[in-house]
Amino acid sequence: MTPIEIVFIVCAIFGLLVAIVAISLALRKKGQGGILPSASQTQSGGASPAAPSPSKRSFLFRSLFSKGVDLSNLEDELIMADVGAQKSHEIAEKLRSSLPQNADEAEIKEVLCSYLVSTLSPVDRSLKIPSGKAAAVIMAGVNGSGKTTTAGKLAKYFKDRGRDVVLAACDTFRPAAGEQLEIWARKEEVGIVRGKEGQDPASVAFTASSGLTPSSLLIVDTAGRLQTKKNLLDELSKIKRVVEKNVEVAECLLVLDATFGQNALSQAKVFSQALPLTGIILTKLDGSCKGGVVLAVEDEFKVPVKMVGVGEGDSDLRPFDPEAFAKGLTQ
């Protein structure tokens, strides 16, 4: 082999090595840079436990204001942040009467923050589950709002607090719904009662609520969509009636998707006709919404937001904290 041939072979090998390193670096970058789905995107039915990183959670309650705020544009800014026309007007009037005309942004935010804390804090937001006796929680809400996922998260929440949780798969309308809840039951190692596809959901609820023990907590997952609104409402009230034959229904929780903004209000209206709602769980606050809808929903229905969903994992459910909410919104 001539020296030229040897140099040529060495160069070729070196070139090949450089190419391999470059390709592997490029592939790695692709995986981190968003082409691959994030942990939360890959979760099906919330079965994967990956929770968002603390940095992702820090924007849970983002500022209500998209631009500089003064007393003249405050009402519009609140409306834009889903606070609702009536509540926005009420808040703006309140601030106009307690601040000088030329109040700057920092003053407005400070007064708004204390106003929010003082109006939201006195409300009792605890889940009223009696101890020492069996109880039931009914989940309701439009399809896709997060009922099944929240039922799974609540299963963990109450199991961690010593309850024997049983899930009732009363969405027999959508074929995959029972399976989705079953994945949660397996993951959280809690009981589940499932019916057959198309079975009367109330009969599933009745079976599930029979024979509970004092430490049992039944969490009833329901359908979000039926052929007609009337069917849906009749079905929900029937489920509650039959469960009550066996056990106290301690909470009727409306699950609302916070990203729906003002549409969440019309949903709440429909469900409040079927069930005596005792609390709201606002989901997907980890998304792009501003959370102002909390104020609108509470104002309209006089039902407290008790917990918030901040991701798809089983620990992504938190008690609603008015102070964190007010601070986040006015930061």
Ligand X SMILES: Nc1nc2c(ncn2[C@@H]2O[C@H](COP(=O)(O)OP(=O)(O)OP(=O)(O)O)[C@@H](O)[C@H]2O)c(=O)[nH]1
Q: Is residue 309 near ligand X by the rule CB under 6 A? A: yes
Cβ neighbour number for residue 273 with a 10 Å cutoff: 11
What span, in angstroms and rounded, lies between the C-alpha atoms of 199 and 195? 6
Among 58, 143, 215, 273, which residue interacts with ligand X (rule: CB under 6 A)?
143
Determine which helix (DSSP H) or strand (DSSP E) holds 3, and give its type and residue range.
Answer: helix 3-32
Order the strands of the 279-283 sheet from edge to edge: 191-194, 164-169, 216-221, 135-140, 248-257, 279-283, 305-309, 317-319
56/94 with CB nearer ligand X: 56
319 within 8 A of 306, measured Cβ to Cβ? yes
The distance of closest approach from Cβ of residue 150 to Mg ion in the complex, given in angstroms and rounded to an integer, is 9
87/284 with CB nearer ligand X: 284
146 binds, among Mg ion, ligand X, none (CB under 5 to 8 A by kind): ligand X
Of residues 139, 153, 169, 159, the one with CA closest to residue 43: 153
Q: Is residue 284 near ligand X by the rule CB under 6 A? A: yes
221/251 with CB nearer Mg ion: 221
290 within 8 A of 76, measured Cβ to Cβ? no
Q: Is residue 150 near Mg ion by the rule CB under 5 A? A: no
Backbone angles phi, psi at 286, to 5 degrees: -80, -5
Q: Is residue 88 near Mg ion by the rule CB under 5 A? A: no
Only segment of 32-40, 95-103, 112-120, 148-156 that touches Mg ion (CB under 5 A): 148-156
Binding site for Mg ion (CB under 5 A): 147-148, 177
| Residues engaged in binding ligand X (CB under 6 A) | 40, 46, 141, 143-149, 171, 174, 177, 224, 283-284, 286-287, 309-312, 316
